[in-house]
Structure 1
Amino acid sequence: MKKITLLLSLLLTTPHVSAQIIWSADPNQSTKVGDFFKRFDDGNYPQDYCVSKGDEAGVTPSSVSVVTDPEFGKVWQINKPKNRKRGEFARFEGLVNSLSPKEGDDIYIAWKWKIDTQDGAQIDKEITVFQWKSASPHNQNYPLNMEYDGDLTLNAFGADYEGKVGQFARRAVLWRQPVPQNEWVSFVVHIKVDKDDFGGLVRFWFNGEQQELDNLQSKKYRVKLSDDHKTVYHRTNDGRFVYPKWGAYNKKSCHYNVNAYFHDMKVGTTLSSVLPE
């Protein structure tokens, strides 16, 4: 009964919820991570070590809290300390609000985001802040991600069916934009979920404006592009299933005590349902 009551509250009191919104994570409705996400990954030692296996002793775990932002009110804050490899929300499948992407889905993932460091240090090594991740066994590991080092990039990763090509060599940088630390920006990522090579599609909006995309930097993989460069054709489904991750991750993130903030996180079936106000 408690879960039903909370779900009714979400539907009746959240202004963004409509028939076109199929998932959202509003800390005004609940501050429990498990109501909206499958889990929070705070560093899965010993797999996620920064220096050497077993270095978890004395390393503060990553954490999630809800803080009050002067512009948006309650927002999610992830803190990933130094010498911790990851702090990430994982998957849309919460106890109250749940979504499991599948082949053929056509969805718009939207959120507002900013990043800073606990000690004021500038992030100048590329850390991962968003993953469109595939569950193993997989050929891509993550078909898409976003990385930040003062510039923010949107990246596509080609499939490696024979296990011979490294992840970095299969990366195509689609978009790059300088983004200052401690400044709110908004994203919409449109994904058509498809396992065929170049069968899926990706479109991207930054601060409400659709962006042109290209193979800005690539080695062994290049996406296909529409004539206007607004649509990327790319394999967007991989492994047993695909799912999102938001936060801070990778070996380079070990250097930083990172705070990542999230607001207005939602998924819709149309662009108009998720574009920032």
Structure 2
Amino acid sequence: MKKIIAFMTFVALNALPASAEILWSADPNVSEKVSDYFKRLDDGNYPQDYCVVKGDEKGVTPSSVEVVDDETQGKVWKINKPINRKRGEFARFEGEVNSLSPKEGDDIYIAWNWKIDTQDGAQIDKEITVFQWKSASPHDQNYPLNMEYDGDLTLNAFGPDYEGRKNQFARRSVLWRKAVPQNEWVSLVVRIKVDKDDFGGLVEFWFNGEKQPLDNLKSKLYRVKLSDDKMTVFHRTNDGRFVYPKWGAYNKKSCQYNVNAYFHNMRVGTSLASVIAN
């Protein structure tokens, strides 16, 4: 946390360049209405989102979101995804008041403070998806990027499958991994240059204010290209009809957990300085 504060203070003391701009933010201090900032909350309450059998699980409430007071961050978003519910996610930064629709050629910095825990204190030790850079079908990647958590937080790239024959997870390359305790706030920034060409897009990543080296740490059928210093990934970051973010808890492995995911200082900007200031 000290590193985060020091880094933010440094940036705040330096004037932002004229081009630096906040394009989107979701501040519960301004409004606690989800639809003001997001397209929707995907609560897992529909037939294709099943954990055991198709259709809603009997007696299982849908995932939910509320604003709560955190002792260090103030007002924060809290998503709860119950056991036997597959999904609880904010979907798309296309709200009724504050809206952004990424398009080919955009170069954006997506930032948020995040922590995760479970309602019953259980340890999360199976990989659950906590962030998706998702593509609208029909698509060749499904999600070009995601983050998963099992006690370690990972940033992952998924290569395209133009012929529809290769398994999704065989096309995953783990770019970064770090142990993150439950119930501990961390700061995340992902730079994405949106591009449909193979290896035409850019990805960069900051954890707790420090830019992270990236690599093909674990891969099978797909490997990203890397800059010489390994600080920049070259990867296809645009797919399908359009791309958009999702934050929360998702996938079959998440079904066994009653997960809480917390979000603060969610914003998108045109530069690193714009999203970490204030």
CA distance in structure 1 between the partners assigned to 2:240 and 2:191 by the alignment = 20
1:19-98 equivalences in 2 (<5 Å): 20-98=21-99
Name the aligned partner's letter for residue 65 of structure 1. E
Which residue does 1:273 correspond to in 2? 274
Which residue does 1:178 correspond to in 2? 179
Name the aligned partner's letter for residue 135 of structure 1. A
Q: Which runs of 5+ in 2 are unaligned?
A: 1-15
Which residue does 2:230 correspond to in 1? 229
Which residue does 2:104 correspond to in 1? 103
For the 8 Å contact 1:213–1:230, the answer to whether it is kept is: yes
Is 1:115 the counterpart of 2:98 in the alignment? no
For the 8 Å contact 2:152–2:178, the answer to whether it is kept is: yes
CA distance in structure 2 between the partners assigned to 1:72 and 1:41 by the alignment = 25
Cα distance, 1:44 vs structure 2: 4.2
For the 8 Å contact 2:20–2:273, the answer to whether it is kept is: no
Which residue does 2:9 correspond to in 1? none
* TM-score, normalising length: structure 2: 0.92
SS in 1 for 2:147: strand
Provide Cα deviations, 1:254-277, integer angstroms capped at 9, x if missing partner.
000000000000000011111266
Cα distance, 1:57 vs structure 2: 2.1
For the 8 Å contact 1:186–1:276, the answer to whether it is kept is: no
Provide Cα deviations, 1:11-61, integer angstroms capped at 9, x if missing partner.
xxxxx9x96101000000000000000000000421010011124221111
Which residue does 1:11 correspond to in 2? none
CA distance in structure 2 between the partners assigned to 1:163 and 1:47 by the alignment = 20
For the 8 Å contact 2:135–2:241, the answer to whether it is kept is: yes
Report the count of equivalent residues.
261
Which residue does 1:167 correspond to in 2? 168
SS in 2 for 1:133: strand
SS in 2 for 1:274: helix
Name the aligned partner's letter for residue 103 of structure 1. E
Provide Cα deviations, 1:68-95, integer angstroms capped at 9, x if missing partner.
0000110000000000000000001000
For the 8 Å contact 1:45–1:56, the answer to whether it is kept is: no
Q: Percent identity?
A: 83
CA distance in structure 1 between the partners assigned to 2:94 and 2:57 by the alignment = 28
Cα distance, 1:223 vs structure 2: 0.1
SS in 2 for 1:273: helix
Runs of 4+ residues over 6 Å off in structure 1: none
Name the aligned partner's letter for residue 220 of structure 1. L
Q: Which runs of 5+ in 1 are unaligned?
A: 1-15
Is 1:216 the counterpart of 2:199 in the alignment? no
Is 1:240 the counterpart of 2:222 in the alignment? no
Identify which range, 19-28 or 101-110, moves more after superposition.
19-28
Cα distance, 1:221 vs structure 2: 0.1
For the 8 Å contact 1:46–1:56, the answer to whether it is kept is: no
For the 8 Å contact 2:20–2:271, the answer to whether it is kept is: no
Is 1:138 the counterpart of 2:139 in the alignment? yes
CA distance in structure 1 between the partners assigned to 2:111 and 2:165 by the alignment = 34
Identify which range, 128-137 or 50-59, moves more after superposition.
50-59
CA distance in structure 2 between the partners assigned to 1:44 and 1:271 by the alignment = 36
CA distance in structure 2 between the partners assigned to 1:56 and 1:36 by the alignment = 29
CA distance in structure 2 between the partners assigned to 1:35 and 1:63 by the alignment = 16
CA distance in structure 1 between the partners assigned to 2:120 and 2:224 by the alignment = 38
For the 8 Å contact 1:40–1:89, the answer to whether it is kept is: yes
CA distance in structure 2 between the partners assigned to 1:95 and 1:200 by the alignment = 29
Report the RMSD for the aligned CA atoms in angstroms: 1.2
For the 8 Å contact 1:50–1:251, the answer to whether it is kept is: yes
